Amino acid sequence: MRARAIMVLGTNSHVGKSLITAALCRIFAQQGYRVAPFKSQNMSLNSAATVEGLEIGRAQALQAEAAGVAPSVDMNPILLKPAGGMTSQVVVRGRIWGKLSASDYHQRRVEELMPVVCESYEALAARHEVIVLEGAGSPAEINLKHHDIVNMRMAELADAACMLVGDIDRGGVFASLLGTIELLDHEEQARIRGFLVNKFRGDLALLEPGIRMMEGRIQKPCLGVIPYLNQLMLEEEDTLGLPVIDSTDNTAWLSRTPDRALRVAVVALPSFSNFTDFDALRAEPSVTLRFCRSAAQLRQADIVILPGSKQTVDDLLWMRNEGLDRVLLDYARTGLIAGICGGMQMLGEQILDPHGMETAGSIPGLGLLAIHTTMQPCKTTSMATGQLVAHSLFGQPVPQVHLKGYEIHIGETLYLKNAEPFAQLVRQPDSKQSPHLDGCMTPDTRIFGTYLHGLFDEDDFRHAFIAAARNFYHLAPAVVLEQWKQKRESSLNRLAETVRQSLDMSRIFSWNGLVYRTPSSVESEEKCH
């Protein structure tokens, strides 16, 4: 039997579609249904690797986690990764398909890819009872609507009952809800079964008159009002949620006491990718982490991290234009530096791009690690596990800790004379293959780089990282260390519970002929079994 379909649409980007989709996946799973997320086309620099070694949007990986299922390429068959100059790398079913301009993709290539979308959706729907689809941007982008394969066309294909989400935190929620509905065709309007208001903070009684007027105006019910959730620590879809801070006027950042927070500065590169790598570090009470672009903040940091980049060469040139390369080289004499993926490539001696994957030619790196990188047409995409090669980090002894994460990169990095590897990894799912060397460290281990995204999500490594850095600066040991996986699970449950309490779940379930059971009734049934 083909799965029933619910679709989450939004009035615009960053209204909360991704997290509401995740919440619904968790709620359906808690109700005992085999549920999976689906987004036909995603544009994001945040991506994740599946067990098969394929690449999908990070948001769909989170939604799969909420649903309690393994992430699959069927959940996100098309991923667009902005590459600058109004072009994007197009990833189809987890593999690089091409690099196209926005006009070429929308005007000529979308129809070519629609059968891939249909195939992926049908494969997913055949394996599950419920599919929660996520739209992109707004379904009312009338300039793009003719070739839109992610909103109303996908809703029709899946025969999905749709809800429309408006973000009140940015203002204009009623105008955006009404305008979106008005710009849809009559058949499309009929698919919108109700609307909801997201990110509300205030007196609900003051909002009620507007809701009643909106219900009368569009003849659709309000499904509920979801409050603004602070400190949720679940992945943002894009850099609209990235808090770049360049001010140094902050007491915590300038404190000199031994029990102060460890100051971590992540360089906010123009093509910053996979910024979710740092969510676990941001959640640590003993760490103050900032995404920044100012020389002053880099100089005052305890650790500077160069993150992943979609356009490694362009971002390295940007750093040189901003003078940040000189700041980093000066800082490297005494400070601690880490590079992840593209950040590690920048720390090397040279980056070569003979195939023009990013920028044809070669460019010298920062020269802090004894490696050079050559960009390749084929992308390495895999989950990986392993361990540190050295028993020290930042010049401090560390226990042998387990490493786990995923690789997504097009560069092949070679070691130069006297290079010291960072880790020994085994790519999944073939755990029987021989381990390979990953990353690089300076002999004193103050500077390291790795291809492993998600490195800080593992509690053992993150705790060792924090302890070594605090010891290096003679700071007091961290009083509290977070358990990240437990925190994520708690955050997903908190999100789901808030959405459950805020929305008319009985009505939403009834759209597909399903009966919603209260949490107490589900618990009673489980006890009986």
Assess whether the previous peptide bond of 519 is cis (omega < 30° from 0).
no
Q: Identify the helix (H) or strand (E) that includes residue 105.
A: none
Specify the 3-state DSSP secondary structure of 31. coil
Question: Does residue 453 carry a catalytic annotation?
Answer: yes
**Which tokens hold the place of 331?**
């800082």
> Which amino acid belongs to residue 71?
P
Active site residue 25: no
* H helix or E strand, kind and range, residue 204: helix 204-218
Distances (CA, A) of 162 to 17, 174, 494: 12, 18, 24
CA-closest candidate to residue 76, choices 62, 55, 51, 96: 55
Active-site option among 341, 409, 440, 463: 341
* Residues near 82 by beta carbon (within 8 Å), at least 6 away in sequence: 43, 45, 88, 271, 310
The Cα 510–Cα 350 span in angstroms is 59
- 345 CB neighbour count, 10 Å cutoff: 31
Annotated catalytic residue, options 372, 409, 453, 463: 453
Amino acid letter, 258: P
Give the chain's count of helices (H) and strands (E).
18, 28
Q: Nearest-CA neighbor of 311 among 266, 381, 267, 359?
A: 359
Residues annotated as part of the active site: 341, 453
